[in-house]
């Protein structure tokens, strides 16, 4: 029964992505950990595949609408996908199963990943609740600051690799403020960056993990179906209010995960 709820959650991930253009992927790891009882390392790997595939579909859709800035996407994605691949292929496997003890309580790799993930969830939730998008200054030409882009990309890759989420809430402000893209073009371009980072990061897991492809593909298929449902519903639902409401839900989820990992 609990697995059925998990598959409904997979559909919900896609619906949220289709409705508000982001945020739904942040639910993928908790669903896989708490409903399918997957190890957090495996869950974050699977999440990369789900996030990457769904983002790719959205990116292709935006390409046909000529909303993707390919030059900016390549410049921002290159340091990020190198970082996320190294994180998944070498850094995550190198972390010991038991990190340290607090009294008799062992802080394991799984607990550390879930705690870090929950902190990111809280940050995502605050961003959604505030619902403020940065706007580029008018009339300013694009001038890429490559050292900053490399640092941003490495940091993004580390976060994406560690928690298995796309990081759109980090990418979009960077594209708007550094690349001076209009907000709609920034959102469209971010999907391509997310797809590249996530799918390349997932390839780093193929050599270290045994992938349950039937489960992963079925979960991803439901998320993709959910995206098209969400896109359809987007014509009838106020996206701004929904985003704020979903932000509160993600905030409560993040706090729950923190408490659950600490208490258990």
The string of pLDDT tens digits covering residues 66-120 is 888 888 888 888 888 888 888 888 888 888 888 888 777 788 888 888 888 888 8
Q: Nearest Cα to 244, choosing from 79, 105, 128, 136?
A: 128
Rounded to whole angstroms, the Cα distance separating 144 from 76 reads: 10
Evaluate if residue 243 carries a pLDDT over 80: no
Rounded to whole angstroms, the Cα distance separating 15 from 10 reads: 9
Residue with the larger pLDDT of the pair 241 and 66? 66
DSSP secondary structure of the chain: -HHHHHHHHHHHHHHHHHHHSSSGGGGHHHHHHHTS---HHHHHHHHHHHHHHHHHHHHHHHHHTT---HHHHHHHHHHHHHHHHHIIIIIHHHS-SEEEEETTEEEEHHHHHHHHHHHHHHHHHHHHHHT----PPTTPPP---HHHHHHHHHHHHHHHHHH----HHHHHHHHHHTS---HHHHHHHHHHHHHHHHHHHHHHHHTTS---HHHHHHHHHHHHHHHHHHHHHTTTS-HHHHHHHHHHHHHHHHHHHHHHHHH-
Rounded to whole angstroms, the Cα distance separating 212 from 209 reads: 9
pLDDT for position 134: 54
Rounded to whole angstroms, the Cα distance separating 168 from 54 reads: 13
- The pLDDT of 221-243, averaged and rounded, is 77
The residue to which tokens 């619906």 are assigned: 15
Number of domains observed in the structure of the chain:
1
Q: Give the domain extent around 233.
A: 2-263
Single pTM value for the model? 0.80
Sign of CA dihedral 91, 207, 197, 150: positive
**In this structure, are residues 136 and 174 in contact, taking their beta carbons and an 8 Å threshold?**
no
pLDDT for position 23: 61
């Amino acid at each position: 029964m609990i697995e059925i709820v998990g598959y409904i959650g997979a559909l919900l991930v896609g619906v949220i992505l289709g409705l508000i253009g982001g945020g739904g992927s942040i639910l993928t790891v908790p669903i896989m950990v708490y409903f399918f009882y997957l190890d957090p390392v495996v869950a974050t790997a699977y999440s990369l595949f789900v996030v990457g595939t769904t983002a790719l579909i959205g990116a292709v859709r935006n390409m046909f609408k000529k909303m993707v800035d390919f030059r900016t996407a390549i410049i921002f994605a290159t340091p990020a996908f190198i970082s996320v691949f190294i994180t998944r292929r070498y850094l995550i496997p190198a972390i010991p199963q038991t990190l340290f003890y607090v009294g008799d309580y062992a802080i394991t790799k799984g607990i550390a990943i879930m705690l870090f993930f929950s902190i990111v969830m809280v940050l995502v939730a605050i961003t959604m609740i505030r619902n403020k998008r940065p706007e580029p200054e008018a009339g300013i030409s694009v001038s890429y600051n490559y050292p900053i882009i490399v640092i941003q990309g490495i940091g993004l890759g580390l976060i994406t690799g560690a928690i298995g989420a796309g990081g759109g809430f980090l990418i979009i402000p960077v594209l708007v403020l550094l690349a001076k893209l209009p907000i709609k073009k920034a959102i469209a371009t971010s999907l391509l960056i997310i797809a590249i980072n996530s799918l390349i990061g997932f390839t780093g897991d193929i050599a270290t993990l045994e992938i349950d492809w039937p489960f992963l593909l079925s979960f991803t298929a439901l998320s993709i179906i959910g995206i098209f449902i969400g896109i359809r519903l987007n014509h009838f639902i106020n996206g701004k209010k929904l985003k704020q409401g979903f932000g509160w839900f993600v905030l409560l989820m993040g706090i729950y995960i923190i408490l659950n990992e600490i208490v258990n």
